[in-house]
Structure formats: structure tokens, C-alpha cells
Amino acid sequence: MFRYIVRRLIQAIPIFFGITILSFALMSASGNPVAALTFRPGMTPEERDRIAARLGVNDPWPIQYLRWLAGDDWMRWDSTGDGIADHAILVPLDANGDGEPEPPGDRRGILRGDFGTSFTKKRPALDILVERLPATLELSIAAFLLGTPLGILIGIIAAINHGKWFDNVSRILAVAFTAIPTFWFAIMLLLIFSVQLRLLPIGDRCKTSLDDSCPPVTERLQYMVLPVIVLSIGSIAGYSRVMRASMLDVISADYVRTARAKGLTRRMTWIRHAARNALIPIATALGPELTFLLSGAVVTETIFNYPGVGLTSFAAVTQRDYPVVMTVTIYAAVATIIGYLLSDIMYGLIDPRIRFD
């Protein structure tokens, strides 16, 4: 298995670089952020050009991509031999309008952990992501631990009671919750439990404090109840339908009937033999599910004003904060690669017929 994991990680390298090229090209094609960041009607074109040069967005996108990927120190050289590096022509010139070149700063590139500085917050983009990541992990882990086991359990019980009331009710609810839009369901929960009944907070992660810090999770569970329900209800509905269909297919197989004929109890046959093989389709869906949860639920976090990665990415897109947007994009790409790798590993753990060697 170790060799398989290493081989998959090596195969993920060109995929990663392909994602970076495509994402950066799309971001560059969305337009120059200077117009969105400056609101002075009387600003002259020269001032606008100086701001664009200072942000490094006035070069062709391939040059911007190389600077963003590998930094800008490779664009400089020591032409005099005195240890002072001159700036290459790729570096923006005359950013101050005084006829002298302006160094773009010590940009090291994302390959060395430098994702740039946020246009709006004036802070390293990676620091913003790391600061908001714990909030997203709280919701994603709680929703995963609630939605996945509960959906699988409902699917198994529905298949065992095929055609009975539990099966019919679970199928109707699964279809209904799958069809309901996430934003509408979240707003309805807010109106019922926060506005009318006043049982739960209307949003945010905790009570606002002077230092913007939150107490431990155990002391603010009431703030997580509604967002976790919204995130997990889709998983419960989806996994229950997939598990029910897979379980019905497995319990009608020959080896299950043989196990029953040999004297195994019905519970032993369903749980030990049928359920394990029925979990194989679930492993296929876990990869995208983990990616969705770890990347931040944009709609849920925005409605509940939960300061996670999803809310941060939404704000960055609306403000054209390119460094933060690209940081979240790279984080989501890495989460996607890891999620699908975990799905493949789970295949081998669930199905003994699969070998990695």
C-alpha cells in the first residue's frame, strides 16, 4: 500500500500544476482588480497604473503566474559583481513615477509557502486561510461524523425492511431533502429556531469578544447546531439512498443465500457479509464529500455568518482579492487530491478482492 500511495502522490504532481495554470488563467481573465479596489472618480490613469504595477497585475498572465508560483528572486541577477542584484525587465518598472524601478518585494512563490498579501486585508493570504481553517474543520468534522454513519445506518435498515413503512418514509424524506435548496433550508431553520423560538443563536461562531477569540467547542455547541444540520442533511439523504440500493442488490446475491442456508443468523448475514460489500459505492462518494466539507461550505457559512474558509472565499471573490482566492483554490485542489486518494485506499480496506501491489 505504501508504494501505491507514493505512486498516486507522484501522479498528482502534474495534476496539481495543471490546476494552478488553469485557475490562474481564469483569474487573470476575470479582469484587473485595480478598478474594484479604487473608488476615487478623479483618479488619473497614471495613478491607476502605479497601483497596478505595485500589485504586480499589469504584466501578462504567464509572467504573473511564474512570479506567483516560483517567486521573483530568480528574475534578478548581479550584473556588477558587487553583490547587489539588478531587477530584470519582468519586474514592474517606475511604479512610483519617479523614473526609478521599484522592487516588487521578496516574493518567494507558493512552492515556498508564500501565497502573497491580501489586497484588502494587507496580510499574508496564507495566514488568513490558516486563521479561518479551524472554523471550517469544526463544521466539516461534525457534519461528517453525523451524516455519514447515520445515512449508512438508515440505508441498511431501509433495505432490511424493504417495502415496509420505514423504507417508504425514508425514501420520501431522502428525495425531499435532496431536492430542497441548501440556502432555503438554512433560512427556514434560522427563522424557526432562532427568530421565532429563540432557542439557538442566529449566526456567527461565538459571542463577539474584544480579542475576537472563541472559547472551546464544548462551550459553544449551540452555534454549531444549525450549520451542522444543514451540512449533514444532504449526506444523510444521499448516503441512505446509495446504501439502500447497494444493500438490496447484495442481499439477493447467491453467497448471502448460501450463508443463510448454512445456518447463519439473519443479523450476522446482513451485517458481516452483506453490509461490508454494500459499502463499496459509499467509498466512491466519500472522496468528493470530504473535499466539499474541507473546502468550506460557501452557502452555509455565508448564511450563518460562520467565519470559515467558505465565507472567506466568498468575500475574497466579491472583493477581487486575488491572493486569497488563489490560496483557497490551491487548498481546495490539495483537499481534492487527498480526498480521492482516501477513497481509493478505502476500496482496499472494504473489498478484499482489491490489491494495491
**pLDDT tens profile 159-177:** 988 889 999 999 999 999 9
Domains of the chain, CATH where assigned: 31-112 (no CATH), 125-350 (1.10.3720.10)
What pLDDT sits at residue 341? 83
pTM: 0.78
Rg (CA), the chain: 26
Give the residue among 279, 255, 281 at the shortest CA–CA distance from 269. Answer: 255
Compute the C-alpha angle 282/288/290, nearest 5°. Answer: 90
Q: How far apart are the first and last CA of the chain?
A: 7
Name residue 19's amino acid: I
Helices assigned H by DSSP within the chain: 2-29, 34-37, 45-55, 61-70, 125-160, 165-179, 182-189, 225-251, 254-261, 266-268, 275-278, 280-294, 298-303, 309-318, 322-350
- CA separation for the pair 301, 295 (Å, rounded): 11
Give the whole-angstrom CA distance, residue 89 versus residue 16.
Answer: 29
Label residue 288 by pLDDT band (50, 70, 90): confident
Is 87 strand, coil or helix? Answer: strand
Q: Are the CB atoms for 93 and 59 separated by under 8 Å?
A: no
Q: How far apart are CA 295 and CA 19, in angstroms?
A: 15
pLDDT at 299 over 60: yes
Which whole number is the average pLDDT over 261-266? 80
> Region 134-160: what's the mean pLDDT?
91
Mean pLDDT of 319-343: 86
Distance CA 84, CA 71 (A): 18
Please report the pLDDT score of residue 96 as a whole number.
42
Average pLDDT over residues 27-45: 69
C-alpha cell at 133: 481553517
Look at residues 278, 276, 313, 279 and name the one whose alpha carbon lies nearest to residue 294: 313
CA 256 to centroid of chain Cα atoms: 39
Place of cell 425531499: 176
Provide the phi-psi class of 113: left if phi over 0, else alpha when psi is between -120 and 50, else beta: left
pLDDT above 90: percentage of residues in the chain: 21
Number of other CB atoms surrounding residue 117 within 10 Å: 19
CA gap 326, 125 in Å, rounded: 9
